[in-house]
Amino acid sequence: MRYSFQHTPLSPLQLTGAIKWLIITNVVVYVFQVFAGRSFIYTFGLVPYSLIHYFRLWQLFTYMFLHGGIFHLLFNLFILWMFGKSVEDAWGTKSFLKYYFICGLGAAIAIVLTGPNSTTVNIGASGAIYGILVAFAMLYPETIIYLYFLIPVKAKYLAIILGVIAFLAGISGSGSGIAHFGHLGGLLVGYLYLKYPVWKYRFPRIDGLKLFRRKYQPKEEIISKNWEEEINRILDKILAQGVDSLTIEEKKMMDEYVQRRGEE
């Protein structure tokens, strides 16, 4: 499935910090994987039976950096670059990486729960990538994405479509070698993490989409109370309806707000 979208808050070729790190790391690991052979994949890929019976807990994270082939790698990195840079730009590098790994962990848990005795090796960052797609859809729900560069779909609908496809493929057992429940797990964990406030008590330093607010939290000595209240209202609107819902005046206020914060 190919994607193209209209929302480009950053330069098309610009790489944010986390995206650059993830791309480089995945490429380096893939090169090593090619020369290391199958034993490397079975040691660091996610094998539910080995994880449970031999306590290979590292597999919950290391499987995300392995891939089944060059096209698998390039596709995941392309989607990560296209959607992830906008999410990281809104949240910041550290928070983006935490969210990325939480979604990847959620995907791994879904794979293990749906096949605890499976000896099939699962590899790839697709679960985490699905989480990034959900985050993008919640930040920019009205953004138009072109499937196969032809079919226009709003981001919020694309996330739903992908979730339904993953679920139906998972219960039907179609798609040999594809961990559909892993994709669904990454998607659902990302959605729950961003949607429900209960997560902030489990992860007090990350509060879903309110990361955007925390990143640009105003200082009282610089911004007046009325200004702060108006900014908070706009941020609440972003949380509820997405960036595309802002009026021209609200967008101007946010631009000025971000500019002031950048000068501090």
Q: Please give the Cα distance from 183 to 190 (Å, whole number).
A: 11
Give CA angle at 22 (72, 103), nearest 5°: 80
Beta bridge partners of 46: 122
Cβ-Cβ contacts under 8 Å for 80 (sequence gap 6 or more): 19, 22, 23, 125, 129, 132
Contact 115, 179 (CB under 8 A): no
Task: Locate all alpha helices (DSSP H) within the chain, ordered by sequence.
Answer: 17-36, 38-44, 48-54, 59-62, 70-91, 93-114, 126-139, 155-172, 180-195, 199-202, 211-215, 225-241, 248-263
Active centre residues (catalytic): 126, 183
The candidate with the shortest Cα–Cα distance to 91, out of 250, 221, 240, 235, is 235
Contact 12, 85 (CB under 8 A): no
Contact 63, 72 (CB under 8 A): no
What backbone phi and psi angles, to 5 degrees, belong to 46?
Answer: -90, 110
How big is the chain, counted in residues? 264
Contact 109, 82 (CB under 8 A): no
